[in-house]
Structure 1
Amino acid sequence: MKKILQITFILASIICFSQNQEIIKERGNLSNSKGNIYKSLEVIDQREDKKIGEVPFGDNKEMREIVFPTTVNNFLSQWYTDSNHKGGKYELVLVLKHLKTYLGETVGKQTEGEIEFSAQTFLKEGDQYKFLYKKDTIYSFGSKNISDVMVKNIPVVFAMFLKKTYTLKPKENPVSIDALADYESYVRTNSEAYKNTQLKDGIYLNHTAFMNQTPEPGNYVFEKNDKGNVLRAVKEENGKKDKISANEMFAYVENGKAYRKTYSGFLELNKNDKGFYLISNRGYLLPAQNSAVFLSVGGGTNAGMYGGVAVGLVGILERGLRQNKARKEEKFPIYIDPLTGEYDFSEE
């Protein structure tokens, strides 16, 4: 009788515990439509706080903790394997830095919510890792069923992140697993652009070339307009001219000064102990429609854009890219992400 009571108590505890949890489930698939080169997915969970968040459910607003059905590594690796039946040559490694949910204000029947997400991906070959992609993002939502929407969209966040990863080529410089503990610091310490006090003059077609300080070879001459703005660079060798338009450049360095290509033209790229930065604002750097990206989620062409998983996703904003009413003339330091070359608006 005592043993029966113990079993009953254990089962009741499990049921009670599970009722206070909301389990994250797979939504859609993680298939690589570009041709799978990754035989497996491994997740390195570097989150300091593993708790995702607690949100209210149902008419009674019962608080439930959002959890994975197992470890995040087991969940995502199995989902990846189920979605990609033909194995590739390499291993894909996802380093999870941050995953949190937050509830905001309720206006009428609509409640705001956010998912904060930060992760990096690497191609693994043997014991070497090559950087692929990084995202440090806030996903914003609004719904009368906000808790349900956020839980359903956590796997959407991972799906979008991985499907973007599939499209990218790895960086050329491999690192050991020790560098993954703080890859950003590793890049700052080891990149030529950070180590050198003097930048090399020349044209840089992408962020990687700038970080490695490998400008386009040859003696290019800048052609500028009456205002001194660079229009193109021209190199003449063996009777042939090679032209690089301003739109093709990531940056150029002239007389030791760097200039970064932006939506509105070139701006001087400064450097301090925190990294490279521009003195500008969002309105000058980005087209207005790119400040926030909104997806159609109720149907139409975007409804199935991620294998049917983009249900309920309202908006995507980079970390710190919350809409504001700052006047266009207000300017401040905007740093360049050392891993991706993208703008970091976190200090806005």
Structure 2
Amino acid sequence: MKKTLFFLLFSIVLLGQKVETIDLSKSIKDSKNSVKSLTVIDIRSNKEVGMVMYHKDEVKIIFENDAGKDIKDWFYKYNPVRGNNDLVFLLESLNISEDKKEKYSVGKLELRASTFIKKEDGYHFIDRKDTVATVSSRTTPYLAQSLAKKVSSILTDLFKESYKGTPWELSISENDLPNYNSLLKEKLGILKADELKDGVYKDYYSFFTHNPEPGFTLQTNDKGVVTKAIKGEEKTAIRHFYAFVHEGIAYKNIPVGYTEIFKDENGVFIEVTKADLFPETAGNGVTIGSAAGGLIGGIIGAVIDASVSGKKNNTLGPKVYLDPFTGNYLLPEDFGKTK
């Protein structure tokens, strides 16, 4: 009788729970055919993805088989032609949850995954996605479907960007992969340097490894605003660089000009407001940047000419750290919210 009751209750639970499978069907073809093999390492402590509600039903978000097998099968489906590189996909975290409000719910996705190239001397970091995204039931009642699609989209972007990415020169061992974040940060020159090298840094990697572009000097206008980088006859507007160091002080280009970069025990950061990073329009009326949700924002795709705007105004905002693995902004959860 007890067994019969148990199976009856178990059947009722199953009937009340639906599933949403993460659809890994978008093309992730490597047009360069550069990858010979893919290894997927899933270091999540909890292999469950998560669950949200649809009306009165629980909807569980799942992989068709498991994350490792599905991601690997997905890659080989679109990349039958082999290259020379051994690509490693590290799934660090993936969690979907729901925050129930009085009249609606907010579904939340937290995802972090990284890619490496395996070489004889170890594993070389390429790229990563470290994302928090939310979906409101006021926008769509199908939270599970929407969040599952976001998982697929983020993983697709990571593969495509990894094909184009340049592996770091720094390497770590296979045993150190789970701790790559702290171990690689310890090797970054910008975090260890007592004095900074003047010059321009073309991208986040050259900045964090403390390697300015050789041969460039900085030019200022009559107001002391840095406007250009000069190398012989070549003159490049300062806004085309990720960052620069002038008279020993580091600066980050942002949409409203440039702002000083500071350093503490947690890394490097800028002090900015939401309006500094995500102004609605630039002077020419073109929308720039993107109001990225969650903890991490994207690199701004355009900046106002520093010769016009120069340093940003003196309005200080909260600390916004710069991610040494992507160059992106690590936005506080309450960034831009009024109290």
Category of TM-score, reference length = shorter chain: 0.7 to 0.9
- In the alignment, which of 136, 140, 158 is matched to residue 134 of structure 2? 140
Q: Give the aligned length.
A: 304
2:83 is matched with which residue? 88
The one-character-per-residue Cα deviations of 1:18-56 (angstroms, maximum 9, x if unpaired) are 984625243423432532211333222222332221223
The one-character-per-residue Cα deviations of 1:159-194 (angstroms, maximum 9, x if unpaired) are 233223223222233332233222221122111111
Q: Is 1:249 aligned with 2:241? A: yes
CA distance in 2, matches of 1:16, 1:38: 44
Distance 1:50 1:208, change over 3 A: same
Residue pair 1:66, 1:151 contacting (<8 A) in 2 also: yes
Q: Which structure would you say has the larger RCO, counting Cα contacts within 8 Å and 6 or more residues apart?
A: 1
CA distance in 2, matches of 1:285, 1:337: 15
Q: Say which SS state the counterpart of residue 319 (structure 2) adopts.
A: strand
Q: Is 1:166 aligned with 2:163? A: yes
CA distance in 2, matches of 1:93, 1:342: 22
Residue pair 2:52, 2:107 contacting (<8 A) in 1 also: no
Q: Is 1:319 aligned with 2:295? A: yes
CA distance in 2, matches of 1:121, 1:242: 36
Report the AA paired with residue 44 of structure 2.
Answer: R
CA distance in 1, matches of 2:96, 2:244: 41
2:94 is matched with which residue? 99
1:246 CA drift (Å): 0.5
Report matched runs for 1:192-231 at 5 Å: 192-218=189-215, 220-231=216-227
Residue pair 1:93, 1:123 contacting (<8 A) in 2 also: yes
Q: Say which SS state the counterpart of residue 143 (structure 1) adopts.
A: coil
The one-character-per-residue Cα deviations of 1:44-78 (angstroms, maximum 9, x if unpaired) are 22223322212234x6x222432223221111101
CA distance in 1, matches of 2:290, 2:240: 25
CA distance in 2, matches of 1:169, 1:320: 22
Distance 1:235 1:340, change over 3 A: same
- In the alignment, which of 320, 324, 337 is matched to residue 334 of structure 1? 320
CA distance in 2, matches of 1:15, 1:90: 49
CA distance in 2, matches of 1:232, 1:103: 48
- In the alignment, which of 57, 63, 74 is matched to residue 69 of structure 2? 74
Q: Is 1:258 aligned with 2:253? A: no
Report the AA paired with residue 258 of structure 1.
Answer: A
Residue pair 2:97, 2:108 contacting (<8 A) in 1 also: yes
Distance 1:25 1:188, change over 3 A: closer
2:284 is matched with which residue? none
Out of 282-291 and 83-92, give the one that drifted further: 282-291
Distance 1:86 1:16, change over 3 A: farther
1:65 is matched with which residue? 60
* Structure 1, unpaired ranges of 5+: 1-5, 294-315, 322-327
Q: Say which SS state the counterpart of residue 162 (structure 1) adopts.
A: helix
2:26 is matched with which residue? 29
1:234 CA drift (Å): 2.3
The one-character-per-residue Cα deviations of 1:189-243 (angstroms, maximum 9, x if unpaired) are 111111221112222222211222222223x44221233211112244xxxx332
Q: Say which SS state the counterpart of residue 261 (structure 2) adopts.
A: strand
Report matched runs for 1:264-283 at 5 Å: 264-283=256-275
Out of 196-205 and 64-73, give the one that drifted further: 64-73
Residue pair 2:296, 2:328 contacting (<8 A) in 1 also: no
1:116 is matched with which residue? 110
Distance 1:38 1:214, change over 3 A: same
Two-structure CA RMSD over aligned residues (Å)? 3.1
Out of 95-104 and 19-28, give the one that drifted further: 19-28
CA distance in 1, matches of 2:326, 2:148: 28
Q: Say which SS state the counterpart of residue 129 (structure 1) adopts.
A: strand
CA distance in 2, matches of 1:212, 1:334: 20
1:345 is matched with which residue? 331
* Structure 2, unpaired ranges of 5+: 281-286, 298-313
Distance 1:90 1:217, change over 3 A: same
Q: How many percent of aligned residue pairs carry the same amino acid? A: 27
1:304 is matched with which residue? none
1:324 is matched with which residue? none
Q: TM-score, normalised by structure 2?
A: 0.78
Report the AA paired with residue 95 of structure 1.
Answer: L
